Amino acid sequence: MKFDVGRTKRLFTAVLLLLVTTGLSAGLVQNLNPAAYDYGTSASSFLYTDTASESVEGTGYVMEYHNVNTNNLSLQEYMHGSGSFKHADVLSAQQKTSGSLTYSKGVYSGSVYFVIDSYTGKWKAVQSGASSVISYTKQSEMTQAPSLFAFGTGWYSTHPVAYDSLLKDRTEANSYQEGTAMLHQLEYARAYVGDIAVDLNCTGPTDTADGTGFTHMKIDDDMTQGTIHVAELQTRPILDSSGKAYALTTQGVHSPLILEDKDWVGDFKIQKEMQIQFKKSRTTSAADWLPCTCGGFFDIQDYDKLMPATGPIFDSTARSVSISTFKPAWNGTLAQFPQSIYAKKP
């Protein structure tokens, strides 16, 4: 298929081999962009925000290339052609957290939160993973035509160089942690009017909220005499729920969970939207079967109030239920003493 299968397989195979050879710990790091961010280097702590906007109108030859990477996401935009052009785009990218975790002199730092271990009952550090977002929108109006340019002096000043390039525009979005890729590509077109929007979000869980993985692409195309290729790929998980790597024959790009590959050749109007979303559950503290109440119920930490029965023990719920079972009936609003009417009778 035209999803650059060789390139895609090399990309995900690199991730796959990294996890298989380094073990579970690398998988939990959730730092899966093999092209630019390698965990364990200074890049792992590189946090940045990138914003850019552009508006272009003119006639001639155009070549554009834009490549944006975060720890776990990437966006590539490429286009070229000769003729008349009018386009505007807006890009925003942010590496929010690095996913790095350091421990020095008894102090943890980095992307980490703490929970109570279910086996030891003690606090333990949990790595949340890297968090980043990329958002991109573009509007284009292009009409292909030959263009002549005179370069320099002498012979070239009287013999212009001719550019007669058909239109091409390619947008590729990757979320490496989730193993998700989406692609939109225009080729060999005579004219094109269209919009594209891409949103990528890879956010690690925290002590209070689940994380999310979100890949979204929306396109609106009006093409004249060309080809449009759209593809979507969701690979199989690298690790199972226990942290064990799947067999090489079933993970990664082998037998993917989602594979879409479509081509339109000729004159087409296309509206299409693709979206894949993941929930990355946070690690929660273990519930103590009998929380200590030496300081009173309202002094207990929230993580010690996890058992459903904890509240009723200390509020009026349990008392009301208990009183309702007394025989004969007990008036809970008055002080009642053991009189003959309450004594046990044969």
| Triad 275, 219, 35: Cα angle to 5° | 65
For 9-32, the pLDDT digits (tens) are: 444 444 433 333 332 233 334 446
Q: Within a 10 A sphere around the Cβ of 256, how many other Cβ atoms?
A: 17
Is the pLDDT assigned to residue 335 strictly greater than 50? yes
For 292-332, the pLDDT digits (tens) are: 555 555 555 554 554 444 455 555 556 666 667 666 676 66
Output the CA–CA distances (angstroms, integers) from residue 167 to 56, 75, 144, 228, in the order listed. Answer: 16, 20, 6, 11
Q: Check residue 17 and give its pLDDT.
A: 36
| CB contact set of 262 (below 8 Å; sequence gap of 6+) | 229, 230, 231
Q: Check residue 294 and give its pLDDT.
A: 54
Q: Check residue 57 and give its pLDDT.
A: 96
pLDDT tier, 48 (very low <50, low <70, confident <90, very high otherwise): confident
Q: Check residue 151 and give its pLDDT.
A: 77
Place of tokens 């079967």: 289
Instruction: Fill in the amino acid letter for 334.
Output: L
- The whole model's pTM is what? 0.69
Which of 5-9, 151-155, 325-329 has the weakest average pLDDT? Answer: 5-9
For 191-200, the pLDDT digits (tens) are: 999 999 999 9
Is the pLDDT assigned to residue 45 strictly greater than 80? no
Percent of the chain with pLDDT over 90: 37
Q: Report the Cα–Cα distance between both ends of the chain, in Å, rounded.
A: 88
CB 164 within 8 A of CB 146: yes
Query: What is the Cα–Cα distance from 23 to 17, expressed in whole angstroms?
Result: 10
Three-state SS annotation for 164-225: CCCEEEEEEEEECCCCEEEEEEEEEECEEEEEEEEEEEEECCCCCCCEEEEEEEEEEEEEEE
Beta bridge mates, 101: 110
Average pLDDT over residues 242-252: 62
Query: What is the Cα–Cα distance from 323 to 19, expressed in whole angstroms?
Result: 60
For 262-281, the pLDDT digits (tens) are: 999 999 999 999 999 988 87
Q: Check residue 344 and give its pLDDT.
A: 55
Q: Which of 81-85, 255-259, 280-284 has the highest mean pLDDT?
A: 81-85
Query: What is the Cα–Cα distance from 321 to 331, expressed in whole angstroms?
Result: 13
pLDDT tier, 341 (very low <50, low <70, confident <90, very high otherwise): low
Query: What is the Cα–Cα distance from 174 to 73, expressed in whole angstroms?
Result: 6
Q: Within a 10 A sphere around the Cβ of 307, how many other Cβ atoms?
A: 13
Average pLDDT over residues 226-231: 97
Q: Check residue 206 and give its pLDDT.
A: 79
Percent of the chain with pLDDT over 70: 60
Q: Share the mean pLDDT of the chain.
A: 75
| CB contact set of 185 (below 8 Å; sequence gap of 6+) | 2, 168, 169, 170, 171, 228, 229, 230
Backbone angles phi and psi of 342, in degrees to 5? -100, -5
